[in-house]
Amino acid sequence: MDFMTYFTGMTVGLSLIVAIGAQNAFVLQQGLRNEFVFAVCLACALSDAILIVVGVTSLQQIVEVLPWLDPVMRYGGAAFLIWYGAKSFMSALRGSSALEVSDSLSTSFAKTMAMGLALTWLNPHVYLDTVVLLGTVSTRFPEHRFEFAAGAVTGSFLFFFSLGYGARWLRPLFSRPLSWRILEAVIGCVMWLIAFKLLSRV
């Protein structure tokens, strides 16, 4: 097993999933409320795992049939990452918001799971991150796609369960705008680094 590729997949997967979004805010909210935390984290992580496997395995096959798709996906993905990184840097420089978690009344298990799945499967950014971007980056490791996918899936499980069960300790941190600004700056650096790797691939 190529542990370097596995670590790369985990790092890239974590870098993409850690970006602030509705899905992460929902998992954080459930963790703070201590409601259905395991089920919500598992549903989000398994959904990501399915999409990651589809991206890493099927995207390469599609590219073999449509060779022109590889440069389109590579340059398109790099352009998106450059834009995303610039957006993160702007948020780091000018951002002043903090994540607010609702203290609304409890909801049923079915409604909670439906909301979590909807925030995953109905969110186009999830497909872009897992299927397109991770699938495209995985083409840099044609002989070790399994390790890359396994690393990305591991990163997804680590993130969701850490966020869900670590929410009680994260709340004071996330209530500070400076913390989000630092996180946004880190995300911007990672996005530009990934874009550079995509553009420099031969």
Q: What is the pLDDT of residues 69-128, one digit of tens each?
A: 667 767 887 787 788 788 878 878 886 655 555 545 567 899 999 988 988 887 767 777
Q: How would residue 202 be classed by pLDDT, with cut points 50, 70 and 90?
A: very low
Is the pTM higher than 0.85?
no
Q: What letter represents residue 33's amino acid?
A: R
Query: 168 pLDDT exceeds 70?
Result: yes
> Residue 61 has what pLDDT?
75
> Residue 153 has what pLDDT?
95
Tell me the pLDDT of the chain averaged across its residues. Answer: 82
C-alpha span between 102 and 88 (Å, rounded): 24
Q: How would residue 171 be classed by pLDDT, with cut points 50, 70 and 90?
A: confident
Residue 44, CA atoms < 13 Å, CB-side half-sphere: 32
C-alpha span between 10 and 136 (Å, rounded): 15
